[in-house]
Amino acid sequence: MQPSLPGPDGFLLSPDDPLRASHLRLNDYLFAEEQRPTNTPFNVAVWRKLPKGSFADQVRAVLQRLAWLDRHDAELENAHLSRIRLSTLLRVLYSIKAPCSEPDLRMLLDLTTPLLGRIAPYGPVERTVQYLQQNDLTPELCSALRRFQASLREEMSISQASMQSLRQQLHMLLWLDEWEPLNPARCWSECIRRDLRTFVGERRVKWRALLKHIRGNAPVRMPAGWARQAAPLLSAVGMDDFREQIHIWFAPFRSGESLPLSVAGSHVIKGLIWFCSVARDEDLKECALWLLDVKWKQKRNTEKVMVALGEFGITKEHLRARKLIKPSPPDPTPRLIEKMRQAVCLLPGYHIQTDPDGELVVVQGQLHFYRLFRSTCRMERVSDNAILELNWSALPDQLRLFLHRECDSPQQLEFRAHMLVHDSLFGRYFIAR
């Protein structure tokens, strides 16, 4: 039997590991990345040539390796470099078109969930959305999605908008969970979920396909491509059945009662209004316009619902006149100019003062004052004289590219001083002794 082989990152590969071939590729990749000149681009072609059937195993190997690096972070000086390289590769792998089975998706979600503070969260959800175009959810897949949703963290998002889009996708995916107990107090749309579960045979299949077409991260206006795909789904359900169900589901809008509306429910209404628009039916248009008189308990979820009526010529000005959406925001230019002026006047240098001997550095943070000593690199919080140390295990990998584990130079002390200036953001990366 061959001995276990340590990879460039220290990972020990067992001879009988079922993912041995995938891990050997990772070893070659990490070694090549260590040698690659910084001005040479990363060659993704070799990964795009992988057999389609090996996609899940390769991603699984990357996720296993990332989890191992996380567990052994305290023992490895350069674990963050390997994680950054593996995260880069992971983005490439998720960009490759390859089929995923339902067990594959559950595996990707469950292996990604404990890593959500370290890596970008988008890949497994995007793959689930693609899978749902031709397949249906299962109770086990829904459970994996809920665990994933509960563990989402903002740190590794590309932007606030991308994280919001991801959360909206998850809301809509889990609205399609046909095994979750219903809760009418949660949202008006629970009546649709209830009725879908009573449908049988082909009718249920066709309605499920139609509802799966509703997107959680859809744009404000109905895309032409969405409408083209919606038409055959509407035709399969049948106009008579669709019209009857819309009458039933939208009837509460005229009740005069305040109705609950969840985030997912707002996406559902928007999607159904788009289907009504695609149908080009006057009766359905009239049903959609019942929204103008509805009362909602949760005002924050209503704007996307009301704006969807633009498909029937209802403008934002009309909606604002009826106080159904918020007024136009004020011109932000003067406020932005004032913020820029304040930013220029309050340079970070004003918050870091050094005594005449150059030994003591006093830092004014957003929450506390600090004393830093150049000769010893000791850091103290003035309010309680607590000694601060960098919490290396909590530090994101990108910050590790210029911060050292130990404060071993004047430059490293300066980096820490600038972090403490913004302690409302970076204070979480220090621990008090």
Taking only the tens of pLDDT, the chain with its 433 residues reads 455 668 899 999 988 999 999 999 999 999 999 998 888 888 888 898 888 889 999 999 999 999 999 999 999 988 999 999 999 999 999 999 988 999 999 999 999 999 998 899 999 999 999 999 999 999 999 999 999 999 998 877 778 889 999 999 999 999 999 999 999 999 999 999 999 999 999 999 999 999 999 999 888 889 999 999 999 999 999 999 999 999 999 999 999 899 999 999 999 999 999 999 999 999 999 999 998 888 888 777 777 778 888 887 876 676 766 656 666 665 555 565 555 455 444 445 557 888 777 789 899 888 899 999 999 999 999 989 999 999 998 888 888 988 899 999 989 999 999 999 888 888 989 999 8
The pTM of the full predicted model, rounded to 2 decimals, is 0.84
Long-range contacts of 361-368 (CB under 8 A, 24+ apart): 361/413, 361/417, 363/417, 363/420, 363/421, 364/421, 365/420, 365/421, 365/422, 365/423, 365/424, 365/427, 366/421, 366/422, 366/423, 366/424, 367/423, 367/424, 367/427, 368/420, 368/423
b/e 123-162 (16+ beta carbons within 10 angstroms → b): bbbebbbebbeeeebbeebbbbbbebbeebeeebbeeeee
pLDDT for position 299: 76
pLDDT for position 340: 47
C-alpha to C-alpha distance for 427 and 420, rounded to whole angstroms: 7
pLDDT for position 2: 55
> Among candidates 206, 210, 202, 207, which has minimal Cα distance to 229?
210
pLDDT for position 181: 96
Beta carbons of 332 and 345 less than 8 angstroms apart: no
pLDDT for position 343: 46
pLDDT for position 69: 95
Residue that has been written with the tokens 């563990």 in this structure: 151
